[in-house]
Amino acid sequence: MDLATTDLQASIDFYTGLFGWYYADSAGGTVAVVDGLPVAELVPASQPSAWTLYLGSPHARATAERAHALGGTVLGEPTEVSTVVVDPSGAAIGFRHVPPDWLFGTNGHGAYAWAELNTRDVQAADAFFHELCGYEITQIGDGQAVDYTLWAIEGETVLGRQRMGGAFAPDTPPHWMVYFTAAPEIGTDSVASRVLELGGQITVEPYDTPFGRITVVADHVGSVFSVIDPSRSSPLSDDEVGSAIDDPYDE
């Protein structure tokens, strides 16, 4: 994942204060580290952007060509290493080639936890990523009140896709939501409070789900992300089954 920022030091200060990230310089920006493993990259830019998720690719330019053939739109000039495309349902996603020994942190406070695509044209999204990435797609909602699919590779779930229903404002654009982990000893609520102390905003107050306690927040310049404490899972009640899921773009 990377975040384009117009003030690199301010972004470093925010996420250090929030997650305790350490940093290492890289060719393109500054890599955030948790427990010795990279978890994200902060990239200097003339304009800020939302968090961008990157998926692995053996050859990014070939992936861009295939994405275009499947109805996607390629942003900028792809290279052998990296490309960003917009899928036919309208959300931007990156692809990046990394060496076989490349590591990515998915454990610890502030590490990557999950990502999901929020979109209205769910059939186009499912079909596109099935063809492009070979994802196995499983519907876990009823397909009507709750339309949420899990995407897997060889049986291992890697991403989610949610249909944007009535809980989303009509002008809400399709988007990817990235989740960072809140350590159990710190908790989602404490992270949300810390976001406010650091000049950010709480977009969705902490709430319980079967997968953990979640909050949606925005950093000091408005870049939105979610935080989840997986240890705080709570089954949905009968009244909650089929209810809409809050999203930061509702506002």
Q: Do residues 77 and 121 share a domain?
A: no
CATH number at residue 26: 3.10.180.10
Q: Assign 246 a pLDDT band (cuts: 50, 70, 90).
A: very low
How many alpha carbons fall within 13 Å on the CB side of residue 219?
23
Cα–Cα distance, 239 to 139 (Å, whole number): 21
Indicate whether 229 pLDDT > 80. Answer: yes
SS3 79: coil
Mean per-residue pLDDT, 174-194: 97
In this structure, are residues 19 and 109 in contact, taking their beta carbons and an 8 Å threshold?
Answer: yes
Q: How many domains does the chain have?
A: 2
Q: Do residues 182 and 132 share a domain?
A: yes
Looking at 36, 71, 96, the residue that finishes a domain is: 96
Interhelix angle 8-19/188-197, rounded to 10 degrees, is 150
Percentage of the chain with pLDDT > 70? 92
Cα–Cα distance, 72 to 163 (Å, whole number): 19
Indicate whether 185 pLDDT > 80. Answer: yes
Q: Assign 235 a pLDDT band (cuts: 50, 70, 90).
A: low
pLDDT tens digit string along 133-157? 999 999 987 878 889 999 999 999 9
The answer to the question of residue 203 being in a domain is yes
Q: Do residues 38 and 135 share a domain?
A: no
pTM of the model: 0.89
Q: Do residues 131 and 55 share a domain?
A: no
What tokens were used for 101?
């020994």
The answer to the question of residue 19 being in a domain is yes
Residue-number span of the structural domain to which 150 is assigned: 112-250
The answer to the question of residue 23 being in a domain is yes
What tokens were used for 165?
């229903």
pLDDT of residue 241: 42
Indicate whether 166 pLDDT > 90. Answer: no
In order of 93, 136, 148, the CA distances from 70 in angstroms are 14, 17, 22
In this structure, are residues 218 and 232 in contact, taking their beta carbons and an 8 Å threshold?
Answer: no
Mean per-residue pLDDT, 94-100: 94
Cα–Cα distance, 238 to 129 (Å, whole number): 32
- Bridge partners of 159, per DSSP, are 151
What tokens were used for 46?
């003339």
Q: Assign 240 a pLDDT band (cuts: 50, 70, 90).
A: very low
Indicate whether 130 pLDDT > 90. Answer: yes
Mean per-residue pLDDT, 184-193: 97
Indicate whether 104 pLDDT > 50. Answer: yes
SS3 112: strand
- Bridge partners of 32, per DSSP, are 23, 40
